[in-house]
Structure 1
Amino acid sequence: MDKALPRLLAAAALAVAVPPVQAVFTIVTDNDPLNYSLTLRVGTAGATVDTVAFSVTGANAGLTPVPVTGTPSIGISVAPTRPMLGTAISRPVTLVVDSSTALACQSGGCGSATIPFSKISWVATGNDTAASGDIQSGRFTASASQTLASYNANASFCTGILCPALGWTFQSRQLTGTVLQFTYDNDVVYPGGNYKGTVRFTASMV
């Protein structure tokens, strides 16, 4: 029998700057001998936080501003692993993002001004359809728990003498290859300066 499992969480962060890239690679397991685990990667594999930069200068800071594309693009993957057992039970996987804390002035004379993350959108490429639960193009909602992806980890099923209860693991359905290209709306005149904020991604499997 597939057993009840505590909620598994994996978290990563992404910094966004309006006028540099690092990343978080986190694996969280419940230390169960049956090897349940959940891996989330946002940006570059490493132990730091990636930064997407938007350069609002020149004509973009003038009277006819246009949206500004950020660099670099950011890849996201969510990979659950679960044991092969004799009973197939689904394991919902969800990816959410917290963008509730606005970008704040760091320097350059912008004082206490802030820019909400709802001014930043993205185009998703390398993704699957919305029906599959993969990330679609969209924008931050400046909320604490915005769902980006939601799908079911494959229900692993194994029977027979070659399928012992311990020792065999199943690399379940993964969200991989999805890349987000971010764009800053640049439709409001904020005080000139350098702004920076961080969004936090959390993946869970229950």
Structure 2
Amino acid sequence: MTSTLTLFVDHLSQPCRALSLLCRTIKVQHHEKYVQLIKGEHLRQPFAELTPFRKIPVVQDGNLLILESCAALRYIADKYDTSNQWYPKPPSVRAKVDEYLDWQHTNTRAHGVGYFTNKVLFPFLKKTPPDLKAISEHSKELDRVEKQFTSYFLGPRPFITGDSPTIADLVAACEFEQPLAGGHQLSPPVMEFLGRVKSVIGPEYEDLHNVVRKFANKVLS
């Protein structure tokens, strides 16, 4: 299938990594245009012409522009994944994928990015010490999130909907990797989950996550 798919990404960003990993895993022809967050390129032209939100990722497919990452993941999986694995079509399975994608915004993502931002990103950008109170609060919330994720969303299954990962698992893995890069100690069940996702994705998983790990190591060293 010929594709005009373009991703505007920075792999320091969790949703950007999830989109890139999906496209690379299903081997859809696409282009990745890098927009450097720490240089503020998302706030300036020419990128700012694409989106009033001035945030990444942005996905463009022909004349279609998608400005929200979960909507873009659904669209790409629905259109380009011929295996139907990553966004399964049965309504009962798809509902569980959507349930996690809706839940994670105020849980996995909110506290993972909160931990990383206050420990790594803000100290780098503002040249100020880490906000220890905010870091502690997000760390405690992450402990809760990890328990709820493993008990409810995984349960006895290797992945959220069963034996194969979906876009929900990609999003979860990328979000959990963010505080992990910043030094948060994830629980053994979550670490085992990350290992399973990595084993399915292959070397691309490490390649993309090494971007955020190297950045965090540089700031924290």
TM (norm. structure 1) is: 0.25
From the two aligned structures, give the one with the greater helix fraction. 2
**Which has more radius of gyration?**
1
TM (norm. structure 2) is: 0.24
From the two aligned structures, give the one with the greater strand fraction. 1
